[in-house]
Amino acid sequence: MLVAAAYFVPVVAASSEVNVYSGRKEALIAPVLEAFTEETGIRVNLLTGKADQLRARLLSEGRNTPADVLLTSDVANLHRASTSGLFQAIDSRLLMQRIPSRYRDPNGKWFGLSIRARVIAYAKDRVKRNDLSTYEDLADPRWRGRIVVRSSTNVYNQSLIASILVAHGDIAAGKWVKGLVENMARRPQGGDTDQIRAVASGEADVAIVNSYYYGRLLASGKDRDREVVASVGVLFPNQGDRGTHVNISGAGVTAHARHRSEAIKLLEFFSSPKGQRLFADINHEFPVNEEIASSPIVAGWGSFKADALELATLGVYNGDAIRLADEFGWR
């Protein structure tokens, strides 16, 4: 389903505009767009939908697309859009300064805007924190029937598999996928929040989830959510070696953007202190701009070592990751 919205300058009419196709939920991106319009006077027209929907729409529209910016989650989606010819390279001093090279396309076609870590959620009453260490260890037989994780059709898991593949090679990555599948407590189902709830309910002892899903539960005022986080802890894996797998939400200027300068200004605003603060506080992600502090909730988890891998590499290996998931039964 595609949903359209527009963000206007209060009282005074906007003198220019920018059209955004967004794979992120409107509630997460709208406050950032509103702040951009308030600061610049540029109206934002927003169309939200699934990443695959938006990519197909851009391909269908070709040169006639109204889209100036494509915003999406996960480097694999950015890579797919880039290799489909949907982005153009831009040269922005501000984006280069604010965003570390490992979180942006080496050819300047897409830029990371926020970071999320793929963490291990565990039942505090059934799992000792010291029993957890790495993603690789979750394939050990002692975890048989104790792990939940969403489907491999989800791009978050595809990128995790790609990171294992890059670290250890094709054969070892395949063995890891096979071991993880054998240790699953149930057939993959639901989203990351559902995995956390499954751990809290006793259906499983361990889950692999994106960090901000746990952050949202911590920020919730609902008693049900408070009960969940009271019984579930999170751990950043692989602190003794390469570091925790991280990924990004990101954006690029479309290949046929009619409002190119406004699109670049929007990306620069996303990377600015104000934009980064909003991304961090609204969705409890890590700022990609290293000068900006995390939200109080995220900061409460403490610091961690992130995998220093150039994220563009994960996009390159996305097809291999999907192949391994299919071959070894991660549905």
pLDDT 10s digits, 169-195: 999 999 999 999 999 999 999 999 999
Are both 169 and 20 inside the same structural domain?
A: no
What is the reported pLDDT for 9? 40
What is the reported pLDDT for 14? 45
Are both 23 and 133 inside the same structural domain?
A: no
What is the reported pLDDT for 3? 59
With cut-offs at 50, 70 and 90, classify the pLDDT of residue 70.
very high
Residue-wise pLDDT tens digits, 127-169: 999 999 999 999 999 999 999 999 999 999 999 999 999 999 9
Are both 66 and 171 inside the same structural domain?
A: no
Q: What CATH number did the domain enclosing 227 receive?
A: 3.40.190.10
Within a domain: 300: no
Are both 89 and 13 inside the same structural domain?
A: yes
Within a domain: 265: yes
Q: Is pLDDT above 80 for 10?
A: no
Residue-wise pLDDT tens digits, 190-215: 999 999 999 999 999 999 999 999 99
Residue-wise pLDDT tens digits, 216-248: 999 999 999 999 999 999 999 999 999 999 999
Are both 190 and 315 inside the same structural domain?
A: yes
Residue-wise pLDDT tens digits, 78-133: 999 999 999 999 999 999 999 999 999 999 999 999 999 999 999 999 999 999 99
Are both 16 and 109 inside the same structural domain?
A: yes
| In the chain, % of residues over pLDDT 90 | 95
Q: Is pLDDT above 80 for 2?
A: no
Are both 227 and 83 inside the same structural domain?
A: no
Are both 123 and 98 inside the same structural domain?
A: no
Residue-wise pLDDT tens digits, 279-317: 999 999 999 999 999 999 999 999 999 999 999 999 999
Q: Is pLDDT above 50 for 51?
A: yes
> CB–CB of 307/115 below 8 Å?
no
pTM: 0.93
Q: Is pLDDT above 90 for 263?
A: yes
With cut-offs at 50, 70 and 90, classify the pLDDT of residue 13.
very low
For residue 181, give both structure tokens.
């599948």
Q: Could you tell me the end-to-end alpha-carbon distance of the chain, in angstroms, rounded to an integer?
A: 24
What is the reported pLDDT for 178? 98
What is the reported pLDDT for 8? 43
Average pLDDT over residues 62-82: 97
Maximum CA extent, the chain = 64
User: Distance of CA 314 to CAs 156, 159, 322, Å?
Assistant: 11, 6, 12
- Domain residues for the domain of 223 are 117-244+310-327
Instruction: Tell me what the pLDDT averaged over the chain comes to.
Output: 95
Count of the separate structural domains present in the chain: 2
Average pLDDT over residues 64-77: 97
